[in-house]
A = this chain, B = another copy of it.
Amino acid sequence: MKAYRLDDIAAQLGGRVVGDGSVAVTQIATLEAATKTQISFLTNSKYRAQLAHTGAGALILSEADADATDIPRIISGNPYAYFAKVSALLNPLPDVRHGIHPAAVVAASASIDATASIAATAVIGAHAVIGAHSVIGEGCSVGENVVLGSHARLHPRVVIYHDCVVGDRLIAHAGVVIGADGFGFAMDGDHWIKIPQIGRVVIGHDVEIGANTTIDRGALADTVIEDGVKMDNQIQIAHNVHIGAHTVIAGCVGIAGSASIGKYCRIGGSAGILGHLQIADHVEIAAFSLIGKSIREAGSYAAIYPFSKTGEWRKNAVHLRHLDDLVGRVKTLEQEIKSIKGSAS
């Protein structure tokens, strides 16, 4: 692994070196695990005491912690982002060979940039466009007329259906499916008939999509994912959903059809949003919470049933089916008290 001196890192990424800038590191690690040739980081001053016990050869610290150690260090206004950048520097993506593997299957009419890479067993459809430096992993399927920007990274077995459009620097992990039909049927007498899903999925720049996440194409108009959206694994995005820029979505979330999510939202794991709702910018939704009405105001929202030992849960939960009755009983009591107090006065 290549070693980087602290002063070289700071020259490249900014920040202020305190202590011996000639110290060189090859990898990043937690305070607990780091060794002499590794750099670590502290993002929360509350844990400052841990600095005393680290074996790290160098540190990334905030201004507030700049003097909390003698270990050579880089001071940054945003140590967490700085850590991310240092890690990217120390762990560059492996070089990928340009060109089309002989075991790839590429339509003659597809347009593959000369700097792109198409792996073995990938299949590229007619008239698809693959941008510069994009890497298409093995077993990927890129449908007809798909336009994929530059510097994309499709891990193995990603499927993009026909006509979808994707910006630059997409990262799609294994098993992602973009552009499958939305779930639309009409009851015709005694059976369902399919509503053709003729919209597309349109994805902006700098989007990352986790393993086995699915994003359905629109029914009539498009499903839209704006720039900088980050999605975890196993998420389901239904047809005609619109997700605003820089929103992050944790694993297993389901967003129903035509919901519109604002920018800079944070949606917790396994949460859900019902169809056709509007969610404002900067809304935070707790894990496991179903949002059943539009949210017009930024802020944090939750709907979690608190867990307990199963015996206690059972004893308490049974009353939920009679809560309205309980409220009625309390109301009656209040009236009776009022009447007793009235007759007593």
Residues of A within 8 A of B (CB): 27-30, 33, 78, 80-81, 83-85, 87-88, 91, 94, 101, 103, 105, 119-121, 123, 137-139, 141, 144, 155-157, 159, 161, 171, 173-175, 177, 180-181, 183-188, 190-196, 198, 206, 208, 210-212, 214, 216, 220-221, 228, 230, 232-234, 236, 238, 246, 248, 250-252, 254, 256, 269-270, 272, 274, 284-293, 299-324, 326-327, 329-330, 333-334, 336-337, 340-341, 343-344
Contact = CB atoms under 8 A, between A and B. Distances in A.
A210 B214 contact: yes
B308 A321 contact: yes
Contacts of A269: 236, 254, 256, 272, 274
Given A28-B220, A340-B344, A214 B185 contact: no
B321 A306 contact: yes
A84 B341 contact: no
B155 A156 contact: no
A181 B173 contact: yes
A320 B292 CA distance: 15
Contacts of A173: 177, 180-181
Contact of A307 (B123, B212, B289, B311): B289
Contact of A188 (B33, B78, B123, B316): B78
A230 B87 contact: no
Contacts of A251: 183, 236, 238, 254, 256
